[in-house]
Chains A and B, each alone.
Chain A
Amino acid sequence: MNFRKLVQRHRGLIPFMTLIILVLLVGINAPVFLTVGSILTTMTDTATLFIMAAGITFVIMLGGIDLSGQSTVALASIVCSMSVVHWGYAAIPLAILTGMVVGLISGLVHVHFKLPSFIATLAVGSVAASAALLLSGERSVPISAENRDTYFFWIVGETLGIPNQIIVGFVVLLVSLCIERFTKFGYWSRAVGSGEPAALAIGVPITQVKVTALVLSGAFAGFAGLVLGARLGSGSPTIANETLLPAIAAIVVGGTAITGGTGSVIYTLIGALMISVVRIGMTFIGVDIFAQQIVFGVLIVIAAAATIDRSKLSIVK
């Protein structure tokens, strides 16, 4: 069997193999990376990135994109840290709701004014970023240690030696897998991503699906803001800076096609782990922290080029 056929047949395994190779590469250079402690830290670090990326996966699956992620995370983290003081547990749904509202606005702008999701989410995202600055008075809003332990123990604590963030990440994975595999929305969004005219003729309510995807993405970003805020002990308008590119990189590196239709949150998880391994690995090996974005940029280009059969594209915009 020739190499091309072999690759074709086992395409789904490529991201997973790449992850293992990356882990081994870093491990050879810095054996300390392969200890249980380091691996748990890496996974903990991945949780918020994964939660945010899982949400965006729904949008990319449709062939769209959500660029409002990092602003939404920031806004939600502030809403969460400001509201937990007064309302305790209510901060949790409030953070998620904040994200949903941002997503809903993006979605309505996208569908109603027929603007590309790229523009709609970029614009609404900048509104959310400003709102975060205004709301917080351009400062970070601390969450008291007491409140943190009372209301967010399920994020910051450990269970049987495993950091709760990892468990939260797994729950998010299960929820998003459920949405993807067992709901109408999941099937519809794959159909829209693979062929919108066909999906339309089948009777898929396209606008509804598009708005739902953005609302879901917002909800996940809101939740990511909550987790991140709790973990760092404060909400901040800059809390999620420089996370948008890694999040999109995680999705694309995992193998979800940027043009929509194929992929899964499972792959996003693998992609997010790859990003973390590369990031932490670079620190272990001693790559300048400011040079890391270069690596993510290059990774996106390589992964996006590898997941799409470009020979069939006649026009690239």
Chain B
Amino acid sequence: MTNILSVSNVSKVFGAVRALDGVSFGVMANEVVGLIGENGAGKSTLLKVLNGVYQPDEGVITNAAGSLTLRSPLDAEHAGIGMVHQEQSLLLNISVAENLYLGRESQFIRYGKINWKAMHGAARRQLEKVKLSIPPATRTELLSFAQRQMVELAKALILEEEHEDGLVILLDEPTSVLENDEIKILFDRVRTLRDRVSFVFVSHRLDEVMELSDRMYVMRDGKVVGQMTQEEATTAKAHEMMVGRNLDHDYYSSDKRKDIGSDTALSVEDLSRPGEFSDVSFDIKQGEILGICGVIGSGRESVMRCIAGLAPPQAGTISVGGRIKTLKSPSKAVNTGIGYVPQERRVEGLVMQLSVMENISLPSIGQFKKFGLISTTLQKTAAAKWVKRLSIRPPDYSLPASSLSGGNQQKVVLAKWIQAGAGILVLDHPTRGVDVGAKQEVYELIRELAAQGIAILLTADTLEESLGLSDKIIVMRDQKITARFSMQEDEPKQVDIIRSMV
């Protein structure tokens, strides 16, 4: 059989990062192709290339008609590639029919106005394809998540009429918002539709991919590292392929690992937030680094935000230094001595227009008082100290934070919390968007902070990073803790962690 859509030697580079590195990949007619890999392995980037959101720097995409240039999702649609988005892309305040034919209304226009009857009739036929029996005039916000997903699928299937042979539908993490029985229904529909359409299915859940896909590709570090048919695939084999390089302890400055204090800095008990995580318990001692591993949607990001005061828990307790605290807002968390280093550095981490100095002094602005007034001189002294100590480049604290590189920005974020005297740091993907060289500086800094007795809660970009930095690791899956490891007693292998993750 021949491919109806193929990608050969495609690369995509963002700054210093090769998000896709010579990827070759093909979809045959009536086939479900699975795509698995850790966070950041390149799955999403590949989908975006296929959907015309990103243009590849190298390589070609071809279908039956020849080589394709996809400059936008619209180009992709013309080439017979439809997409069902992870974050659903329907507009909630208009009807299902309007959503289905958004941008395609002209076919229903008679005498300058829309013939609603015709549109609703056509919409009804589309909805039948996915066996969704709702009136097409229903406002989209009244539908459940699962129903909206089906509407998205129905929308992608409209392309079927224009592409008699070879429609490919990309399913980006379609199960992440669905319950188990809803997932079953989705899989049923996909299997039925496979008679006419091919699918590319991306999920963090290995079991799902193995169940639904006829064939699957394994990605790691922007490369396709393996390919298996459904018959060949085993969990163990997939795990092995997903695992990355071996640990290089020096890279993570492990030699700077110090003895951990005996006092518990942060203790969390049976923490729950319905729909996000439940019964999460852990302790972090002073100077200890606790890494949380898990895929997107496992609940680990939510736990981080909860500890940072951005999303208060519904049940359970958080104790700091042995005392129970209610962290209803970030300002409460900050006053308790918890500093948050967010994933979205440019949005939440720094006030980009303000100077490096102001960013450093803001969380503890009250400290810089002289005669009851806030003094710029004191702030300058502090900023100069941090710029020097952390070798922030360029070494000018009056520059706006936006003019610094990712790694230097992250140093500023860390500096502001040390300046504020935070005893606990919540590091949410601290090396995201940081150049390879600068990453090591950030690792060193994290180690140094731990050595000073700061307790650190970490979610890392890769498993390798989690293992390299953490003293203790907890693994989350489906909103619960599934495993705990201690690096000193029994250092886990990446495979051990992946096993509890996917």
The answer to whether A and B belong to the same complex is: yes
A residues lining the B interface (CB < 8 Å): 178, 181-184, 186-188, 190-191, 194-195, 197-205, 261-262
B307-327, CB < 8 A from A: 308-310
Q: Does B89 contact A (CB under 8 A)?
A: no
Q: Would A204 and B353 count as touching, CB distance under 8 A?
A: no
A66 to B258, CA, bound (A): 54
The listed residue with most A CB atoms (<10 A of its CB), out of B342, B344, B351, B363, is B351
A197 to B366, CA, bound (A): 20
Given contacts A187-B362, A188-B365, A204-B362, contact A198 B350 (CB under 8 A): yes
The listed residue with most A CB atoms (<10 A of its CB), out of B342, B363, B416, is B363
Closest to A200 in B: B330
Given contacts A178-B373, A184-B365, A187-B362, contact A201 B354 (CB under 8 A): no
Q: Of B308, B330, B344, B354, which is within 8 A of A191 by CB?
A: B354
Q: Does B374 contact A (CB under 8 A)?
A: yes
Closest to A204 in B: B331
Chain B residues within an 8 Å CB radius of A182: 373-375
Chain B residues within an 8 Å CB radius of A198: 347-352
Known: A187-B362, A194-B351. 9 other contacts (CB 8 A): A182-B375, A186-B374, A190-B358, A197-B347, A198-B351, A199-B351, A201-B340, A205-B329, A261-B354
Q: Does B266 contact A (CB under 8 A)?
A: no
Q: Does B335 contact A (CB under 8 A)?
A: yes
B277-310, CB < 8 A from A: 308-310
Interface pairs (30), CB distance under 8 Å: A178-B373, A182-B373, A182-B375, A187-B361, A190-B351, A191-B351, A194-B352, A194-B353, A194-B354, A195-B347, A195-B353, A197-B347, A198-B347, A198-B349, A198-B351, A198-B352, A199-B362, A200-B310, A200-B348, A201-B308, A201-B340, A201-B342, A201-B349, A202-B351, A203-B334, A203-B335, A203-B363, A204-B362, A205-B331, A261-B354
Q: Of A181, A195, A205, which is within 8 A of B374 by CB?
A: A181
Given contacts A198-B347, A198-B349, contact A190 B374 (CB under 8 A): no
Q: Would B347 and A202 count as touching, CB distance under 8 A?
A: no
Q: Of B310, B347, B366, which is within 8 A of A184 by CB?
A: B366
Chain B residues within an 8 Å CB radius of A195: 347, 350-353
Closest to B333 in A: A203
Q: How far is the CB of A1 from chain B (nearest CB, A)?
A: 19
Q: Would A187 and B348 count as touching, CB distance under 8 A?
A: no
Q: Would A203 and B374 count as touching, CB distance under 8 A?
A: no
CB 8 Å contact bits of B15-40 with A (1 = contact, 0 = none) = 00000000000000000000000000
Q: How far is the CB of B331 from chain A (nearest CB, A)?
A: 4
Chain B residues within an 8 Å CB radius of A204: 331, 362
Q: Of A181, A184, A186, A201, which is within 8 A of B330 by CB?
A: A201
CB 8 Å contact bits of B348-382 with A (1 = contact, 0 = none) = 11111110001001110110000001111000000
Chain A residues within an 8 Å CB radius of B330: 200-203
A148 to B228, CA, bound (A): 93
Chain A residues within an 8 Å CB radius of B351: 190-191, 194-195, 198-199, 202
Number of chain B residues close to chain A: CB under 8 A: 31
Given contacts A200-B348, A201-B342, A205-B331, contact A184 B374 (CB under 8 A): yes
B residues lining the A interface (CB < 8 Å): 308-310, 329-331, 333-335, 340, 342, 344, 347-354, 358, 361-363, 365-366, 373-376, 416
Query: At the interface, is chain A mostly helix, strand, loop or mixed?
Result: helix
A205 to B363, CA, bound (A): 11
Q: How far is the CB of B145 from chain A (nearest CB, A)?
A: 25
Chain B residues within an 8 Å CB radius of A194: 351-354
A200 to B330, CA, bound (A): 6
Q: How far is the CB of B386 from chain A (nearest CB, A)?
A: 16
Closest to B371 in A: A182
Q: Would B373 and A202 count as touching, CB distance under 8 A?
A: no
A219 to B380, CA, bound (A): 32
The 7 closest A-B pairs by CB, nearest first: A203-B334, A182-B373, A194-B353, A203-B331, A201-B348, A195-B351, A198-B351
A251 to B310, CA, bound (A): 34
Chain B residues within an 8 Å CB radius of A205: 329, 331
Closest to A178 in B: B373
Q: How far is the CB of A197 from chain B (nearest CB, A)?
A: 5
Closest to A260 in B: B353
Chain A residues within an 8 Å CB radius of B376: 181
Chain A residues within an 8 Å CB radius of B347: 195, 197-198
A201 to B342, CA, bound (A): 8
Closest to B361 in A: A187
Q: How far is the CB of A110 from chain B (nearest CB, A)?
A: 18
Chain B residues within an 8 Å CB radius of A261: 353-354
Q: Would A197 and B329 count as touching, CB distance under 8 A?
A: no
A203 to B361, CA, bound (A): 12
Q: Would B416 and A202 count as touching, CB distance under 8 A?
A: yes
Chain A residues within an 8 Å CB radius of B361: 187
Q: How far is the CB of A187 from chain B (nearest CB, A)?
A: 5
Closest to A190 in B: B354
Q: How far is the CB of A196 from chain B (nearest CB, A)?
A: 9
Chain B residues within an 8 Å CB radius of A188: 362, 365
Chain A residues within an 8 Å CB radius of B348: 197-198, 200-201
Q: How far is the CB of A200 from chain B (nearest CB, A)?
A: 5
Q: Of B344, B363, B366, which is within 8 A of A202 by CB?
A: B363
Q: Would A183 and B374 count as touching, CB distance under 8 A?
A: yes
Q: How far is the CB of A309 from chain B (nearest CB, A)?
A: 11
A272 to B351, CA, bound (A): 29
Chain B residues within an 8 Å CB radius of A181: 374, 376
